[in-house]
Structures are given as C-alpha cells and as structure tokens.
Structure 1
Amino acid sequence: MQVSHPGGEAREDVFGTTPLVTGDAVVLDLRPAGFATRAAALALDVVLQLFLLAAVAVAVTWIGTGLDPAATAAFSTAAVVLIIVGYPTAFETISRGRSLGKLAMGLRVVGTDGSPVRFRQALARALAGFLEIWLTTGVIALFTSMVNRDGRRVGDFVAGTMVVEERTGGSRQEFIPMPPYLAAWAASAELSRLSPETAASARQYVLRYGELAEHTRHEMGVRLADAVAAQISPPPPPGTAPPHFLAAVLAERRRRHEEAAWRDGATGRRATG
C-alpha cells in the first residue's frame, strides 16, 4: 500500500499521550511514572544507601586504627563510590532497569524508545545522580522532574532514559475515533480476514502513537499498515498515513462488532419474548 509519513498533525488530532516499544518493536502498555511514585522509590534507595554508608563508616572506624591513613582513605572513597554510583548502576543493569526502590514501587528504567536500559545508560544516570541528588540534596532532580512532562531528571536526559510504571490497574479500553475522511472507505472495506493478533498490535500502536520515538513511530506504522492491508480489501486511498489507516480499520471493526452484538441481543430478546 502507499503510505505517507504521519507528521505532526496525526500526532495531535488522532491519538496520543505518552511512550513505549521494546527494542524488538513490541508496544508495551507502560506509562511514565508519577512524580510521587518516583520520589518514593528514590527515597527507599537513598535510605538503603545511607544505611550502607553508615555501615562503611562504622567499619572504617573499627578497623582504621591499625591501617595506614592513606589506605583507610582509599578504602573509604572506593566504598562511597561503589554505594552511590555502583549500587544503582549494577542493579539497573542486572535487573533490566530496577533498583530495589523501583522494584518495591513497581517502576522500571527504560530507554526513551522503550528499549531495556543498558550499562552505559545506568552508569550515566548514576553519575548524574551524584550531582543532582547527593551534592545538591535532590534539589536539581526535584526541579527537573517537576517541570518535565514525563518526570525525567537530568540523569534521564543525559542517558536517554525515563522511568515507567510496570503495574497498571488493569487493561484500559481507550476509544479509537474514526478519521472522518476515511469513514466512507472503511464502511465498504472487507475486514473479515483481519486476524485478532494483527488487530491487537495495530490497536496498541494507535493508542501509544504519541509515545513513540519519531523513527520507531514511522517504521512500525508502515510495517503494521502493510500487515493490515494484506488482510483487508480494498486498500485505503493513496497517501493515507499509517496511523489514520489503522485507526479507521479499528474503529470500523469495533462498530461492526457492536452492531453484530446488538443484533444478536435483539434476536435473543425476540426468541424469548
């Protein structure tokens, strides 16, 4: 089928709020974490790190009297670096984006395109966190998280990451509107061969359209539009943007299902009436 790049208008007038797809281009039902949840997760991590720092201080005081002062200082510095930088880096890398605080609050760090966080990203977040959380007592992190729509702090911008919620309150049934200029075409389209799996993938793409990175949005849209077009007929008008095409198919499919359900209900009522 012929497709055109969706552009900014489609993002604003058809769908969208916030991101995500995995590195394998699988759309996820994840939402940027709320400020309060992120703050709670950070507080848990900071409390744990402070406890570890206190334990190191006690250990240094206990064993430091018999050691060379330079060795004691080196040990203390290494321990502090490992706790403040190494702890979040190791946990977020090994657990694919979770620290203990985030795990407790149902949060995860991901790339801005939804990909799993990498070591260099976790390290960049931790190094930036030393400045914006520890050296400034969290003032910089607090300010940037509050002013950014997705709650990203400086470390997230440096690393190209964001914190998302993994636990949701159940599946949402968002309404996908019919693009008006495609209503007549959709009403005459044959949709019976469209598989539930393809429709589900298209629905997730449409609902998360505004959350996707620019290159992912276009590439995935073209791929899904081609998959859907292969299962329906006739093709949409030339030049139709993938998100509009998919929205039209899904909206018409829902309308027909609702109409069929109403007819079945009416038939059942007449049979029992």
Structure 2
Amino acid sequence: MQEESDLVTGEAVVLDLRVAKLASRAVAMLLDVLVQAALLLLVLVALMLTAGSFDSALTIALMLTAFVLVVIGYPVLFETLSRGRSLGKLALGLRVVRLDGGPISFRHALTRALAGFFVDFWALGFLGAVAVIVSLTSSNGRRVGDYLAGTLVIRERVPQSAQAILAVPPGLEAWAAHFDLSGLTDDLAMASRQYLGRYHELRPEAAASLGFSLAQQVSAAIGVPLPYGMPPWVFLTAVLAERRNRDHARIAPTQYGPPAYAPPPVPPPAPPKSDNPFTPPS
C-alpha cells in the first residue's frame, strides 16, 4: 500500500492525500472496539441491575437494540458529527474523506458502518480478515466499506515540514487586510492549499486552468475580484495567508491584537508591468 493516494480529479490534479497505513488503522480500530466494549458492558450491567423489572423477551430485545446502537450507531454518530473521525481515528490523527478529498456525510458514515459490520469485520468478516485482505490489495488501503461508500482513510496529522508555509506576497498586506473571509469554506480553503502545494507537479495547462477556477471560486466567496494581470496562485496565497494570520490572531490575541484604528480601504494592487513579476510557489 502506497503512502500517498493516486486519486486524480477531473482537472488532472493528483490529490495531496496521505493514505493511512494499515497498522495505524488497526490501532484506531482497536481503540474504537475497546470503547464499544466498555459501552456494551455498561449497558449489560444496567440490564442486570434492572433484570427484575423486565421479562426475558424484553431484556433480549433491549440487549439487541443496545448492540446495534453501539456497534453501528457509534461509528455513524462520531464520523458524521466530526466529519470523518471516530475516537480511535482522532487519537491516531486519521480521518475518513470522500475520494475527492471532501468531508463525508451521514450517508457515507452509515454505508461504512453497515459494511464494516456485515462484510469487513464481524458477521462475514472473520474478525477483520476480509478488511485486511481487501486493504492490502488496494493501492489506497481501502476496505469494502470504503469502496461502497466512495471514501478512504487519510493521515491528517503530518510533519510540519511537509506543510506549505504561506505568507502574504510583499506589497499586498494592506490589500489583504480588508478581505471578508467569512464566506470562505474549509473545503475551498483546503482545495486551494492542496493546489499551491502541488503547483510544480501539475502540467502548465492544468495548473493554469485549476488555478483560475479556484481563484474565481475564492473571489466569489470573499467578494473580491481577481485583479487584472495577477496570477491566480498569488491571489490564493494572499487569501490563505491572511486567513491563517487571522486564525493565529484569534488564538493569541495578546500577541496578535487588533489594530488601534481601522485603516482606510486600500484599492486592489496595480497590474504587474511584466509578464511574470511573481515567483511561483516552491
């Protein structure tokens, strides 16, 4: 199983998704199983303490209901609410995403949970043997549930050195300070960051096409037109760097406090005088 995905979008962009290794997925699964076992034990103890209040048929029905809720409901609930992370995956820095890199929904989580119970692990899975075999034969480490749901598990926690360090291009700081970033979604920001990180790995025509498409989407989201003559990647870099700076300011207000006064609006930067005045991202 390779470490990075071989998934390609319609714009010929290789997605920058670091596939979770089988060992880390197994540890995450073990942690989830321990949590589920603890929940089932609590339910069993509660039923034993109240055994005299119910007849045997109702007790069995309650136990089956609790089993289904814990084994299937637990992963569905956590992966839906946390956008792809159970407690085990959260501990290991893993996340379930769609094949296009976007967050999963209830439908994806339910499909994975049902397939996990009936095929991958328990009913017909021989205690996970099916999931292991299918994952080993998949280039992206996907089990049956991932194939049915159209998902894969990635490593969300990566070394700091592997992450692109963004900074507002020189001369654009005052302009970027007036961006209204409230409409910029996490998914669009992630797609833009992945584009900048893989800029030099794209064919020139694909880089230009995808960059312009992302810049147009970001422009519509923040209400700022793409300045004439500015390369899309410069615009995206300015937006993402400004977004990161504001996030840091919210986290550490004493270090990045708000300005004492609001500066006057700054017009968009003038068009560049040369054909290539900017240095592409490295």
Taking a change above 3 Å as real, the CA distance of residues 201 and 155 of structure 1, as seen in their structure-2 partners, is closer
* SS across alignment from 2:50: helix
Taking a change above 3 Å as real, the CA distance of residues 29 and 60 of structure 1, as seen in their structure-2 partners, is same
Note the 1:193-208 alignment, pairs <5 A: 202-206=195-199
How far apart, CA to CA, are the structure 1 residues paired with 2:228 and 2:22? 41
Note the 1:1-273 alignment, pairs <5 A: 18=6, 30-131=17-118, 132-135=120-123, 136-172=126-162, 202-206=195-199, 220=210, 223=213, 230-231=229-230, 253=279
Do the aligned partners of 1:20 and 1:30 also contact (CA within 8 Å) in 2? no
* Unaligned 5+ runs, structure 2: 177-191, 217-225, 232-274
State the one-letter code of the partner of 1:76: M
How far apart are residue 220 of structure 1 and its match? 3.2
By percentage of residues, which structure has more helix? 1
* SS across alignment from 1:134: coil
State the one-letter code of the partner of 2:149: A
Tell me the TM-score normalised to structure 1 length.
0.59
Do the aligned partners of 1:32 and 1:150 also contact (CA within 8 Å) in 2? yes
How far apart, CA to CA, are the structure 1 residues paired with 2:40 and 2:79? 20
How far apart are residue 19 of structure 1 and its match? 5.2
Following superposition, which runs of at least 4 residues in structure 1 exceed 4 angstroms of deviation?
199-202, 207-210, 216-219, 224-230, 252-255
* SS across alignment from 1:109: strand
State the identity %: 42
* SS across alignment from 1:102: helix
Do the aligned partners of 1:124 and 1:155 also contact (CA within 8 Å) in 2? yes
How far apart are residue 121 of structure 1 and its match? 0.6
How far apart are residue 70 of structure 1 and its match? 1.9
* Unaligned 5+ runs, structure 1: 1-15, 22-26, 175-191, 211-215, 233-248, 258-273
Tell me the TM-score normalised to structure 2 length.
0.57
Taking a change above 3 Å as real, the CA distance of residues 75 and 219 of structure 1, as seen in their structure-2 partners, is farther
Give the greater-gyration-radius structure (CA). 1
